[in-house]
A and B are shown apart, each in its own frame.
Chain A
């Protein structure tokens, strides 16, 4: 997989910390592999919206990658609950269902961005850089991507 210039936190130069939320183990593995190529650190995973909220409270990641269609609690509802408690939370919805109503609903409830599956690494990378723009720095010269 292509290597990208690592995106780091501007405050301390540490890798960006990610929480991946998806009911598919396979999708989580795939996203985790991409995050590695961005120089990020996966600090936790969750398979549904309820666990996502618990894991967010426990880990306070820099970015949450959140699926929409999941058991127990869907991603948009979980995003809303997280943002209500943590207004600075950066949540990126990652779903194969990307019709306009869904995207608008997610953004209205606090998600910062939307990426459609199948995820292209270069698209996710640009979204991560954009979402981390207040706090992230892409270190140049470390990879061929970007």
Chain B
């Protein structure tokens, strides 16, 4: 997996989480995952298609999700406000992906992003040889946010790129 493709997502997650929660965040650990993804909290999934293909899952601990929703809504949000908490996680995913997409597009990568959807199943698809999954854990003051990135750089043939260009 190309780090120049992944790095904007890490930078964006770091910046958006810090702004969203109003406190610094740190990357707790980073690993490659071969097994199918297991959901840990409230998760949103985003698909990308084009020169960069694959999916990213944002999985937020309930505590972190409540903290984020409360901070963004400006009022205390409890576990009973399920819809609002899910909405907050989707909006968080939207902002992180959007900012990363902005950087990558300005660097010359062209691809489309579908709006985030809630990832409700306990397990996600397994990563494969050409879509390895990189898992990052961001530690925040209210809990952990996991970002599971399984992307493939789909290089265009020179003649195709020239024709498109």
Contact = CB atoms under 8 A, between A and B. Distances in A.
Interface of A: 1, 23-27, 29-30, 33, 69, 71, 95-102, 116-118, 120
Interface of B: 16, 19-20, 69, 72-74, 84, 87-88, 90-91, 94-99, 101-103, 105-106, 113, 115
Name the residue in A1, A26, A99 with the highest tally of chain B Cβ atoms < 10 Å from its Cβ. Answer: A26
A24 B113 contact: no
Contacts of A98: 98-99, 102
Contacts of B94: 24, 69, 96, 117
Nearest to B106: A99
Q: Does more than half of chain B's interface fall in helix, strand or loop, or is it mixed?
A: helix
Contact of B73 (A23, A29, A116): A29
A97 B113 contact: yes
B131 to A, nearest CB: 23
Nearest to B83: A25
Contacts of A118: 16, 19-20, 95
A19 B26 CA distance: 37
A144 B49 CA distance: 45
A24 B98 contact: no
A99 B105 contact: yes
A97 B102 contact: yes
B72 A30 contact: yes
A101 B72 CA distance: 29
Contact of A117 (B74, B90, B98, B115): B98
Contact of B99 (A1, A100, A116): A116
Contact of A99 (B16, B88, B96, B102): B102
The list of the 4 closest CB pairs from A to B, nearest first, reads A96-B98, A99-B105, A26-B87, A97-B98
